[in-house]
Amino acid sequence: MTQASEQALSILRDPSQFQWYVIPLLLVVIYIYHNEVRQKNWSVIFAGLALWGCDWFNEIWNALVFHFTQYAPVWGAPGKTAYLILIGLNIEICMMFSIMGVACSIMLPGDKKMKILGMNNRLFFIIVFTTLSVIVEMILNALGALTWDYSWWSIRNPWLIWVAGYFYFYAVAYWVYDMETIRAKAITVGAILGFDLACLVVFMGILKWI
C-alpha cells in the first residue's frame, strides 16, 4: 500500500476533520441551483446533475480499484479536507463537481448545430473544458493534492485521464442538456444518480469495500 493511500485511509470519513467553510460552500451550491430553478433553466439543472452523477460513478470505481489491489486508487485525495467521502473524493471536490456541469452549460449557444472553428459547438466546448480540467488536475497532482500511482494514469500519459476522467462527463452533461423533454432529462439523470446510490449502498454500506 502506498504512503498516500495509508494517509487517505487514516482520515476516511473521519468527522473530526470538519471545517466550518463547508457551510458557506454548501450555500453557494444551493444558491446556484436555486437561481437556475427560479429562472426555470431545467436543461442547465439536469446537465449539472448529470455531470455530478458521472463523477460519483468514477469515484466509486476508483475506490473499488483500491479495494481490489490494496495498493492504491487510480487517484487519491490524501491532503487536507473537511471530510474525505471516498479515497479519491473529498467534500470540496464533491461540491465543485456539483456545480461544474451548471457552469459549463450556461454558456452553450441556443443553436446546438452552430459551429465554432469549424466544429459543432457542443464538441468544441467538450474539448475545451476537458482539456482545461486535465490541466487543472495536473497542477493539483504537482501540488500533491491529488496523487497518481499508476504509469497509465499520469502526466506522461494524459490521454486516459482526458477520455475517462473528463471527456465523457461533459459529453453526458450536454447530451442531457439537449434532450427534447424535461421527462427524458429527469429519467436519464434519475437513472445515473440511482445507479450511483445503489453502488454506494452495496459497496460502502453493505460490503464495506469502499
127-138 per-position pLDDT tens digit: 999 999 999 999
Computed over every residue of the chain, the mean pLDDT equals: 97
Q: How many domains does the chain have?
A: 1
The percentage of residues in the chain with a pLDDT greater than 90, rounded to a whole number, is: 99
Residue 164, all three cell numbers: 475517462
DSSP secondary structure letter of residue 154: B
Q: What is the pTM of this model?
A: 0.96
Among left, alpha and beta (phi > 0; psi -120 to 50; other), residue 144 is: left
The pLDDT score that the predictor gives to residue 190 is 98
Q: Which domain holds residue 25?
A: 3-206
Task: For residue 153, name the pLDDT band (cuts at 50, 70, 90).
Answer: very high
Task: For residue 189, name the pLDDT band (cuts at 50, 70, 90).
Answer: very high
Burial degree of 154 (CB within 10 A; 0-12, 13-18, 19+) = middle
Each residue of 20-71: pLDDT tens digit? 999 999 999 999 999 999 999 999 999 999 999 999 999 999 999 999 999 9
Decide: 3 and 10 in contact? Cβ < 8 Å: no
The pLDDT score that the predictor gives to residue 71 is 98
The pLDDT score that the predictor gives to residue 177 is 98
The pLDDT score that the predictor gives to residue 42 is 97
The pLDDT score that the predictor gives to residue 20 is 97
DSSP secondary structure letter of residue 158: T
Decide: 87 and 12 in contact? Cβ < 8 Å: yes
In angstroms, rounded to a whole number, what is the distance separating the alpha carbons of residues 208 and 210? 6
SS3 120: strand
